[in-house]
A and B are shown apart, each in its own frame.
Chain A
């Protein structure tokens, strides 16, 4: 088609560059929640992934410090910049999770927080006059920390994962995996995958019909690695002339960037280099939409109930729940989370 080339070039393929420029100007939000007991290596891992000291460990450091009685939610927001791209990164730590003798319900504050963020976004969306850009505080990824050495999933893990995977993208990791030999890791991963399948717990990445072939291949290779057996470190040391992050033991030095030593590189690339936009999109398309649907349906039912009650009239017709004053403002008490 030699004759038509130059005139027939329309030029809409520059959309990607236009979007990139917009992104550069606007920046974006990325919110990650860390769920795991004290001492699992949460802070160290996050600080390693983002190569900066973002959060402090919330573990108990002195005997006089009291053991927390409930799970607290501790979000920390920072703006990072790389090559002109700005990200408002929020890391939400959950100190106290799983630390008590009786851990019944320790997941409740976590689930509530995640749902609250969906609710806040919904409220802003439903406003008659919306902001130009809605600040997105929804949780895009949840790193769930597994216990190395356990037979498989512990009863607490099963309970929490079932609930977490319903509201957010869950990425299971083993943070202090330097206490497991390679055989032990392989056996543990196999066991975890079996148990996840048995309990029907679906972790990120999800399979999607309109995935391209290379997406499928990539996702399959990621799923092979789950849960990621990683080692985190904030210490930079010199190894073979290069500066790496690692841990120095008396019997050897661990280089967290070495693929034979840990899956750290894979996790980082997965989270940030290949699936970052996926995480954000899937949160919006799948989890948020689910939440939104259930919320709006509840409001509809509520209004129907009210209408029915008003129609039949009489003092004995009482609405089963407190009637909402104004539809929009009230969405946000977001109606009973019967199942948390």
Chain B
């Protein structure tokens, strides 16, 4: 959001001495340094592709500890986990709260069709949390844990992007700043890497995927413009990571990987693009990433979300206020709403009545059926008892009047005892 040039009324004045408002950026700087910054990074890639190593190398600290070795009998992780790790690091008095979000399990199963889903949900939930905080009554303390950038690790196959790469990037490129990198850059020779990068960019353009790119505008000095162009020429970055130091033939110690045929150095720009990645991510474009997350990605998300919830942009606020027209419109809108509600209610009412009717009918039928059943059972019982009575009368001796009295009274009981 670049400031518009002064509106028609402002005049350009020249000052005769040093006033001092040029010190304003310094004041901003001092305040932000006091406050500290936070930066949230997410890493996505299959297991073993070098995510932890790269993060530890970028920030030169052991953010991620070495992964423990599980026995072969351990169950492989099902699905994708989203875990986060925070670290407070300080450099030259500037405090940074760095949060790295890891996604173990991505791309490791046999079926990875929905591997992107938990990740997208996590990103959106962070937006939701921020949205909720913004809508609070007391907004003095808002904690921002939105994802500022996603580093996506591409396997160095030498061919075009894999299905899972394209699927993931297409699903997420409008929600986060996407920074694809080629992992394990020591797999490919310089020429192979050039061709591979071209294929990746072709695939990205073909599928309309938006990745984060440094752009220069007219306010930037020529040095920055040149830097940006250099960075842009290396995208996607082909990097390696290493936490270990190795000794070069000339005795110096560098971070790198030692092979029987040579040593690849992390910070040697001829060997890989690590330096460019670090430069873009931390030294020059961190603010831009945060800005883009806040102003572009988050705003888009918020707009979509509110629209889908039924809020309507009310542009009437900007037009001239005509009370009569306003009232008329409001009345109409209100009536329409009332009608709609009425219609809905009648519909619901009808439906409920129908349901109740059918239920009652059903229970009526059931009762009837039960009644019939009981009746037949009763008939049967009565028939049985009649039979028994006949048999009993046939075999039994004639009853004495005293017994008759007794049995008459007990008749019911005996029979009801069956």
Of A59, A99, A100, A179, the contact of B184 (CB 8 Å cutoff): A179
In this assembly, does A128 line the interface, its C-beta being within 8 Å of a C-beta of chain B?
A: no
Of B76, B199, B265, B271, the contact of A63 (CB 8 Å cutoff): B199
Of the candidate stretches A14-22, A147-155, A204-212, A279-287, the one touching chain B is: A147-155
**Contact call B271/A251, Cβ cutoff below 8 A:** yes
16 intermolecular pairs with C-beta atoms under 8 Å apart? A38-B157, A39-B159, A60-B160, A63-B203, A100-B163, A102-B113, A104-B110, A154-B47, A154-B76, A182-B259, A198-B73, A199-B72, A251-B186, A251-B264, A252-B262, A255-B261
In this assembly, does B109 line the interface, its C-beta being within 8 Å of a C-beta of chain A?
A: yes
A154-171 contacts to B (CB < 8 Å): 154-156, 159
Interface string of A241-275 (1 = CB under 8 A from B): 00000011111111100101100000000000000
**Contact call B206/A64, Cβ cutoff below 8 A:** yes
A48-98 contacts to B (CB < 8 Å): 57, 59-65, 67
Residues in chain A near residue B16, CB distance under 8 A: none
Residues in chain B near residue A254, CB distance under 8 A: 259, 261
Alpha-carbon gap, A194 to B73, bound state (A): 10
**Contact call A63/B160, Cβ cutoff below 8 A:** yes
**Contact call B108/A154, Cβ cutoff below 8 A:** yes
Total A-B pairs, Cβ < 8 A: 134
**Contact call A249/B186, Cβ cutoff below 8 A:** yes
Of B73, B110, B270, the contact of A103 (CB 8 Å cutoff): B110
Residues in chain B near residue A224, CB distance under 8 A: none
Residues in chain B near residue A181, CB distance under 8 A: 257-259
In this assembly, does B111 line the interface, its C-beta being within 8 Å of a C-beta of chain A?
A: yes
In this assembly, does A2 line the interface, its C-beta being within 8 Å of a C-beta of chain B?
A: no
In this assembly, does A136 line the interface, its C-beta being within 8 Å of a C-beta of chain B?
A: no
Q: Give the nearest-CB partner of B272 in chain A.
A: A250
**Contact call A39/B202, Cβ cutoff below 8 A:** no
Residues in chain A near residue B271, CB distance under 8 A: 250-251
In this assembly, does B172 line the interface, its C-beta being within 8 Å of a C-beta of chain A?
A: no
Alpha-carbon gap, A251 to B268, bound state (A): 10
CB distance from A108 to the nearest CB of B (A): 13
Interface string of B137-166 (1 = CB under 8 A from A): 000000000000000000111111011101
Please classify the interface of chain A as helix (H, G, I), strand (E, B), loop, or mixed, using the class held by over half of its residues.
loop
Q: Give the nearest-CB partner of A63 in chain B.
A: B206
CB distance from B53 to the nearest CB of A (A): 10
CB distance from B127 to the nearest CB of A (A): 25
Alpha-carbon gap, A271 to B142, bound state (A): 65
In this assembly, does B205 line the interface, its C-beta being within 8 Å of a C-beta of chain A?
A: yes
**Contact call A149/B184, Cβ cutoff below 8 A:** yes
Most buried by B among A181, A194, A255: A181
**Contact call A57/B164, Cβ cutoff below 8 A:** no
Interface string of A119-156 (1 = CB under 8 A from B): 00000000000000000000000000001011110111
Q: Give the nearest-CB partner of A259 in chain B.
A: B260
**Contact call B158/A261, Cβ cutoff below 8 A:** no
**Contact call A251/B265, Cβ cutoff below 8 A:** yes
Interface string of A182-204 (1 = CB under 8 A from B): 10000000010011011100000
Residues in chain A near residue B48, CB distance under 8 A: 147, 149-151
Of B47, B115, B189, B199, the contact of A247 (CB 8 Å cutoff): B189
A226-250 contacts to B (CB < 8 Å): 247-250
Chain A interface residues (CB < 8 Å from chain B) = 37-40, 57, 59-65, 67, 99-104, 147, 149-152, 154-156, 159, 176, 178-179, 181-182, 191, 194-195, 197-199, 247-255, 258, 260-261
CB distance from A47 to the nearest CB of B (A): 14
**Contact call A178/B72, Cβ cutoff below 8 A:** no
In this assembly, does B131 line the interface, its C-beta being within 8 Å of a C-beta of chain A?
A: no
**Contact call A101/B164, Cβ cutoff below 8 A:** yes
Residues in chain B near residue A178, CB distance under 8 A: 186-187, 259
B265-294 contacts to A (CB < 8 Å): 265, 268, 270-271
Given contacts A178-B186, A250-B190, contact A195 B159 (CB under 8 A): no
In this assembly, does B358 line the interface, its C-beta being within 8 Å of a C-beta of chain A?
A: no
Most buried by A among B48, B164, B261: B261
In this assembly, does B232 line the interface, its C-beta being within 8 Å of a C-beta of chain A?
A: no
CB distance from B164 to the nearest CB of A (A): 5
Query: Which 9 residue pairs spanning A and B have beta carbons closest together?
Result: A252-B262, A39-B157, A59-B159, A252-B261, A63-B206, A198-B72, A149-B48, A251-B262, A60-B160
Q: Give the nearest-CB partner of B240 in chain A.
A: A179
Residues in chain B near residue A57, CB distance under 8 A: 159
**Contact call A102/B111, Cβ cutoff below 8 A:** yes
Given contacts A63-B205, A155-B76, A155-B108, contact A39 B155 (CB under 8 A): yes
CB distance from B29 to the nearest CB of A (A): 39
CB distance from B189 to the nearest CB of A (A): 6
User: Apart from A39-B155, A155-B108, what are 19 other A-B pairs with CB-CB below 8 Å?
Assistant: A59-B160, A63-B160, A63-B203, A149-B49, A151-B70, A155-B109, A155-B110, A156-B110, A159-B110, A179-B187, A181-B259, A247-B189, A249-B264, A251-B259, A251-B262, A252-B261, A253-B261, A258-B260, A261-B261
